[in-house]
Structure 1
């Protein structure tokens, strides 16, 4: 439980932000714009794989929101704590292992990602009457939050300034949000682009999160997500372990 103090600190800070209207609004505004514009506007009369476009879009928005919030809150906070507030150095000097620091940061990022996802699920239910509760949905959501919170730690450890986090976001997170099956099936992309996005984690989150029955595609996506989860966690722990600023 040596990770708990790190997690508790982040949760105490999160509680202070939680009841601010700006925080709640920032977590919801972009997915809500997409839901209203694409789902209830352009996609009203479009079917995707035998389902309405809104039914297709809503799980994708949950996946995208969990990715954005789990990643961005961790990467931004860690970068600021390292370079400006100098509080991360306290964790490193304390008798806490790198893996415990990693777990505390990742679990905190997961909570923020899951909270943002819950907002989207509830708002989507109010707008569409749809509420997703499948086992695959929950597994994909938790893995997605964990792996992107781990990626947020990696970015936070590598970033040389707060501006660097925006650069990483523009090169990795933003393209995944649009091309990895959130808005349109990956099969409809050009062959070259399809080959690239097929190896990205959000693609497999979007596949798994929409599954109702277990099949080969489900197993493949689950395996890929577990691979990224372990890889990002190990790499983040290694970066914390070799931290020497």
Structure 2
């Protein structure tokens, strides 16, 4: 078992511990990457299916019958940032969950990971970094489609857009880690997907502007992390910097930090 998580300020804020956690996280990530790199094409292809279907059905199909959206020149432009957020969410959550679940329940190699003499936070961060890598691989392909469709290269490759994308990947990879540590079977993963990921795909501001909804619906939608990602990516791609919703960054960062605390605590008490 890894050492128990020590949340005391004096211990965790010491530079040697931070450095140790960082290098251990990179070690865990490298082990994951050795497995990921031989499946890069498969990961990219699996994460592109849903966004391409949505782009064809909604962006090119339904979009032609709609008026000018609140952001972007066409409805296709409006949903493209949401599709990037959606693809990163799906692959980060599913890939991370199935990776941990497979190690725990089938290959039975997860116990070896828990026996490593490294900090539980490093275990969590290493797994999240692998999830972020999955999300960025898939999102990069959707970004290429978005650039070819709109011709706005800098809109989809500016630092603010990429920062939001990384934060979104971190949040959903973190959720995937926690789900993977708690599920009791592969079938249980489907429950998380059906009751969390699928509803968020349609309610997270990917297909519509949440500001146009009644206040009681807004309260629900603004609980979802994907809503903040969709709003931020759309603004970063099309709007001037003065109109960017800066509140999206601290909210996503706070969610990622909260998940890191929960995930590290889960690793420190995991029994497999």
Q: How many residues align?
A: 243
Task: Give CA deviations for 1:176-209 in whole Å, capped at 9, x if unaligned.
Answer: 1101110111123344332111121111111111
The alignment yields a C-alpha RMSD, in angstroms, of 1.8
Q: Give 2:258's match in structure 1, choosing from 205, 215, 231.
A: 231
What is residue 91 of structure 1 aligned with on the other side?
113
What is residue 59 of structure 2 aligned with on the other side?
39
For 1:55-94, list aligned pairs within 5 A. 55-94=77-116
For 1:8-157, list aligned pairs within 5 A. 8-20=30-42, 23-44=43-64, 46-49=67-70, 51=72, 52-131=74-153, 132-157=156-181
- Higher relative CO (CA 8 A, sep ≥ 6), structure 1 or 2? 2
Task: Give CA deviations for 1:46-84 in whole Å, capped at 9, x if unaligned.
Answer: 311152111111111001111111111001111111111
What is residue 231 of structure 2 aligned with on the other side?
207
TM-aligned CA deviation for residue 155 of structure 1: 0.5
TM-score for both structures, normalised by structure 1: 0.92
Where in structure 2 are there 5+ consecutive unaligned residues? Answer: 1-22
Largest Rg, 1 or 2:
2
TM-aligned CA deviation for residue 129 of structure 1: 3.1
With 210-219 and 28-37 compared, the bigger mean Cα shift is at 210-219
What is residue 221 of structure 1 aligned with on the other side?
248
> For 1:50 and 1:127, how far apart are their aligned partners in 2?
16
